[in-house]
Amino acid sequence: MRTYNQSSILFKKGKKHLVGAVNSPVRAFNSVGGNPIFIDHAKASKIYDVDQNEYIDFVLSYGPMILGHQHKKVAKAIGKTLSKGYTFGASTEKEIELAEIVANALPGVDKVRFVNSGTEAVFSALRLARAYTKKSKIIKFVGCYHGHADSLLVQAGSGLATLSMPTSAGVPKESVRNTLVANYNDIESVKALFKKHDDIAAAIIEPVTGNMGVVLPQNNFLKKLHALLKKNDALLIADEVMTGFRAKFGAAIDFYDVKPDIFCLGKVIGGGFPVGAYAASNKIMNLVAPLGNMYQAGTLSGNPIAMAAGISTLKELKKSNPYPFFNKVGKRLKNTFKEASKQNNIPIQVNHFGSMINPFFTNKKVRNFDDVKQSHTHYYKVFFWEMMNEGIFLPPSAFESWFLCTTLTKKEIKHTQMAIHKAIKKLSTTKF
């Protein structure tokens, strides 16, 4: 049995000057019980806490560390850039280089604007959609999380779902009056909104969700959505902050033969550093200042360190093409869950997309947030700690995707499979 003495000490110390001793609610262990662990260092697919417990990392900073921790080429690029300075408040060549890589990887994209987070990318994209269409309302989908901007904290997934909060305190009704909510994988719910409103500027969606767990579009949902938006002169915004470059070198929405009007990106494109971006065609992006009158600015946008890390990460992904490997490992883990479920009579559904995977403790197929909420989250609490004790670091929430990295070894994969079997067996003997 592992001990977490030093993490407990830091947790108590951190509560004095940090809110809940964390800087993001998802790092708290409220939904799985116990105190959060504190990390000391990481290398490749392994992460180590302050008690020197070793874990195979399936959190990967919630997505960015797709090449694993401290990848040699990325570290070299960061070091070289650091030696020249940290930030300048002026443009650098690296911004141009990363923008070119991103634009060439995404359909219909001519220009990119870098920002500092996925949240910033999203609310900038919404402003841009409104500027372009000259309309006010935005459609979002139940269970999809697009950052903590006031207008989008309505029926959001991820941390809000974990904390059982349908919205956030401090968000006035006026901030969400132009936000309309539809159901993921339910085109009729979108049609109903268009029947009631004639001033819808855009719909924003995670093409494959990761913030209510991994949920994939069904029955040509994305194609139907895109066609409906076009018919009503509204834009489609693809929030690929999580899914961008995770299942292919490019966008997840490519798999569904849909070309959105605006992309939002983050995580992988920064190689582990704070970054976000929104991107679109010249026709749309030329509305952004200094070319147009849609204003958005940021002192640290396009930070050279983040740009260097992103360039190196994307170049390595393109060169190594790890996506067949991700699919193979994801299918292998999915089959392991199926075997363990059958052997122990524990209800499990596993959704898998590229390098993202998520088990749900339910017999019902998971296609939307209502399905997600019906899963047995109390099973996940036991499962989580059993996996931790076996040296597997997972998201401390049943509503978060697991991530795969390129540095996973055969030995680590086998150990993870063994741990899954042991944890599911433990569930079968636990009284709830």
Q: What values do phi and psi take at 406, rounded to 5?
A: -70, -20
Out of 57, 186, 239, 371, pick the active-site residue. 239
SS3 content of the chain, % helix, strand, coil (to 5): 40, 15, 40
Coil vs helix vs strand at 132: helix
Cα–Cα distance for residue pair 212/351, rounded to 1 Å: 11
Give yes or no for a contact between 74 and 257, defined as CB atoms under 8 angstroms apart: no
Active site residue 4: no
Kindly state the tokens that stand for 253: 């929405």
Looking at 46, 267, 334, 381, which residue is catalytic? 267
Contact in structure between 129 and 235 (CB atoms under 8 Å): yes
CA distance 393 to 204: 31
What is the distance between the alpha carbons of residues 83 and 271, in angstroms, rounded to a whole number?
18
Q: Which H/E stretch holds residue 141?
A: strand 137-141
Distance between CA atoms of 121 and 241, rounded to whole angstroms?
A: 9
C-alpha distance from residue 324 to each of 21, 210, 243, 248, 268 (Å): 39, 20, 16, 9, 18
As given in the structure block, the two tokens for residue 192 are 């109903």
Write down the catalytic residue from 55, 145, 184, 379.
Answer: 145
51 is catalytic: no
In three-state secondary structure terms, 310 is helix
Active-site residue flag, 267: yes
* Nearest C-alpha neighbor of 71 from the set 95, 45, 94, 40: 45
> Catalytic positions, please?
145, 239, 267
